[in-house]
């Protein structure tokens, strides 16, 4: 089982990327391969005029990374009550061509962190909506790490066992959904009538 | 007094003429009613039991992006649940009116459904065969099947209605 992790924050010392790394340890503890996607910064603004063979190599790279993963795990901050532009922009590239995009039917999960009280819950909700519209299989579960400046130890790991347990539950749900999707990956040819 | 036991549907095996039949749906969206059809479907009557199925991947709407969205987990989830199905359990006929109790399965959820409509008696067709017609309609609550996507209007009201009308115009030809 290969899981791709994407952080919506580009900041070097991002709480969200720290949260993603911690989630990655939990995925690996469950026997999954986990890889963090680096390179959101390199993706140009979506422009349909360049959505062809002239598209940036960074676009091809993220599309391939999503395609090759069995599941994608998103961790997002909240900018102005919504999804960070760089993450939304990457999703806009990934989602084309729409009917054959690599997120279609892909099991995904979303959690988030913010320095404020609410842990990016609005951004998470909007990201789930966007992923659903793209055609992803959005897992249940939410983790909102509020006041993130106080939630990580000096090694960048969550310092509260209950938060870690919440993340683990989302990790387990996503892995379960990915296993189910792998079993039903090909539409059945059975027909009941005719 | 004489009672006549009339079977609601003609005896024998009848299969759908796909060219002259259609299965569709209608749902209120924003200020009007949105319609779609399924291009790939089956229906049959065997010994008085009506069965039908439609392939989600064959949904036909005027926009390819919408067709793709309808196949996604937000709506029908064609990958996990590639077909919609129906099986009749009891059929009552009163002249040309017909009422069918049965089970409809959408997105892996099975619910009881009552279908109403009209039936025409078998006629000889120009191809040496025999056929009859069914015009059927039922209303389902899509939330019961886990098809719960919505988008709020500026007023806060949902843009897409919960009730969906499913229609079937079927011509069924007799099998040897």
DSSP output for A26-56: HHHHTT-EEEE---GGGPPPP-GGGSSTTS-
The answer to ipTM > 0.90 is: no
Instruction: State the residue range of the domain holding B51.
Output: 13-174
What's the total number of domains in chain B? 1
Q: At a CB cut-off of 8 Å and minimum separation 6, what does A95 contact?
A: A101, A103, A134, A135
In whole angstroms, give the CA distance from residue B164 to residue B161: 7
Q: Is residue A192 part of a domain?
A: no
Q: Is residue B17 part of a domain?
A: yes
Q: Is residue B3 part of a domain?
A: no
Q: Is residue A71 part of a domain?
A: yes
- Mean pLDDT over B83-101 rounds to 97
What's the total number of domains in chain A? 1
Judge whether A52 and A89 are in contact, CB under 8 Å. Answer: no
Query: So what's the pLDDT on residue A183?
Result: 86
Q: Is residue A93 part of a domain?
A: yes
For residue B6, is pLDDT > 80?
Answer: no
Q: With CB atoms and an 8 Å threshold, state whether B73 touches A191.
A: no
- Mean pLDDT over B50-60 rounds to 97
Q: Which helix (H) or strand (E) holds B19?
A: none
Q: Is residue A191 part of a domain?
A: no
Q: Is residue A189 part of a domain?
A: no
Closest CB to A192 among B15, B79, B85 = B85
Any idea of the CA torsion for A53, A72, B63, B168, to the nearest 10 degrees?
140
Mean pLDDT of all residues in chain B? 94
Query: So what's the pLDDT on residue B28?
Result: 97
Query: Nearest C-alpha of chain B: how many angstroms from A156?
Result: 35
Would you say the C-alpha torsion A183, A185, A190, A191 has a positive or negative sign?
A: positive
Judge whether A111 and A164 are in contact, CB under 8 Å. Answer: no
Per-residue pLDDT tens for A16-56?
999 999 999 999 999 999 999 999 999 999 999 999 988 99
Q: Which of B55, B63, B68, B172 to mutate to test the interface with A (most CBs of A within 10 A)?
A: B68
Query: So what's the pLDDT on residue A185?
Result: 61
- The answer to whether B78 faces chain A, any CB pair under 8 Å, is yes
User: Which CATH number is B150's domain given?
Assistant: 2.40.128.110
User: Does the N-terminal peptide bond of residue B104 adopt cis geometry, omega within 30 degrees of 0?
Assistant: no
Q: Is residue A13 part of a domain?
A: yes
Instruction: Name the band, by pLDDT with cuts 50, 70 and 90, for residue B176.
Output: confident
Q: Is residue B7 part of a domain?
A: no
Query: Nearest C-alpha of chain A: how many angstroms from B85?
Result: 7
Q: B148 is written with which tokens?
A: 């719960």
Query: So what's the pLDDT on residue A62?
Result: 98
Q: Is residue B156 part of a domain?
A: yes
Query: So what's the pLDDT on residue B2?
Result: 42
- Mean pLDDT over B68-78 rounds to 96
Query: So what's the pLDDT on residue B12?
Result: 95
- The answer to whether B15 faces chain A, any CB pair under 8 Å, is yes
Q: Is residue B2 part of a domain?
A: no
Instruction: Name the band, by pLDDT with cuts 50, 70 and 90, for residue B3.
Output: very low
Burial A114-137 (b: 16+ CB within 10 A, else e): bbeeebbbbbbbbbbebbbbbbbb
- The answer to whether B87 faces chain A, any CB pair under 8 Å, is yes
Q: With CB atoms and an 8 Å threshold, state whether B72 touches A185.
A: no
Q: Is residue A79 part of a domain?
A: yes
In whole angstroms, give the CA distance from residue B61 to residue A15: 44
For residue A193, is pLDDT > 50?
Answer: no
Judge whether A34 and A28 are in contact, CB under 8 Å. Answer: yes
- For the entire predicted model, the pTM comes to 0.84
For residue B5, is pLDDT > 50?
Answer: no
Q: With CB atoms and an 8 Å threshold, state whether B80 touches A136.
A: no
B44 contact residues in A (CB cutoff 8 A): 193-194
For residue A191, is pLDDT > 50?
Answer: no
- Mean pLDDT over A169-180 rounds to 97
Mean pLDDT of all residues in chain A? 93
Closest CB to B64 among A99, A104, A134 = A99
Instruction: Name the band, by pLDDT with cuts 50, 70 and 90, for residue B16.
Output: very high
Judge whether B99 and B90 are in contact, CB under 8 Å. Answer: no
In whole angstroms, give the CA distance from residue A92 to residue A130: 9
Instruction: State the residue range of the domain holding A40.
Output: 2-183
- The answer to whether A105 faces chain B, any CB pair under 8 Å, is yes
Q: How many CB pairs under 8 A join A and B?
A: 64
Query: So what's the pLDDT on residue A27?
Result: 98
Closest CB to A187 among B72, B78, B85 = B78
Q: Is residue B4 part of a domain?
A: no
Q: What angle do CA B5, B8, B13 make, to 5 degrees?
A: 115
For residue B1, is pLDDT > 60?
Answer: no
Q: Is residue A82 part of a domain?
A: yes
Q: Is residue B58 part of a domain?
A: yes
Per-residue pLDDT tens for A120-173?
999 999 999 999 999 999 999 999 999 999 999 999 999 999 999 999 999 999
User: Which CATH number is A39's domain given?
Assistant: 3.40.50.360
Q: Is residue B121 part of a domain?
A: yes
- Coil/strand/helix, residue B163: strand
């Amino acid at each position: 089982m290969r899981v791709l992790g994407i952080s919506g924050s580009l900041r070097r010392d991002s709480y969200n990327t720290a949260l993603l790394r911690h989630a990655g340890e939990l995925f690996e503890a469950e026997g999954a391969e986990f890889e963090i996607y680096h390179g959101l910064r390199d993706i140009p603004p979506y422009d349909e005029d360049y959505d062809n063979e002239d598209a940036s190599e960074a676009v091809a790279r993220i599309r391939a990374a999503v395609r090759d993963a069995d599941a994608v795990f998103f961790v997002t901050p909240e900018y102005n009550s919504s999804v960070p532009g760089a993450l939304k922009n990457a999703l806009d590239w990934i989602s084309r061509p729409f009917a054959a995009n690599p997120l279609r039917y892909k099991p995904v999960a979303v959690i988030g962190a913010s320095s404020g009280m609410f842990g990016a819950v609005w951004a998470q909700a909007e990201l789930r909506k966007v992923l659903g519209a793209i055609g992803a299989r959005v897992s249940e579960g939410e983790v909102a790490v509020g006041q993130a400046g106080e939630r990580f130890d000096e090694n960048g790991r969550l310092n509260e066992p209950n938060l870690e347990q919440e993340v683990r539950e989302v990790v387990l749900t996503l892995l379960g959904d990915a296993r189910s999707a792998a079993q039903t990956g090909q539409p059945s040819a059975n027909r009941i009538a005719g | 007094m004489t009672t006549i036991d009339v079977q609601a549907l003609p005896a024998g095996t009848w299969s759908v003429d796909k060219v002259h039949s259609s299965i569709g749906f209608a749902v209120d969206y924003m200020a009007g009613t949105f319609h779609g059809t399924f291009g790939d479907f089956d229906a049959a009557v065997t010994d008085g039991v009506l069965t039908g199925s439609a392939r989600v991947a064959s949904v036909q709407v005027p926009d390819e992006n919408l067709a793709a969205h309808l196949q996604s987990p937000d709506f029908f989830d064609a990958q996990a649940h590639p077909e919609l199905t129906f099986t009749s359990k009891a059929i009552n006929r009163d002249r040309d009116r017909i009422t069918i109790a049965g089970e409809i399965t959408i997105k892996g959820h099975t619910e009881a459904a009552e279908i109403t409509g009209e039936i025409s008696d078998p006629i000889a067709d120009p191809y040496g065969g025999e056929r009859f017609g069914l015009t059927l309609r039922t209303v389902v609550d899509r939330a019961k099947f886990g098809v719960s996507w919505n988008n709020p209007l500026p007023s806060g009201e949902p843009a897409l209605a919960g009730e969906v009308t499913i229609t079937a115009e079927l011509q069924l030809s007799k099998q040897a």
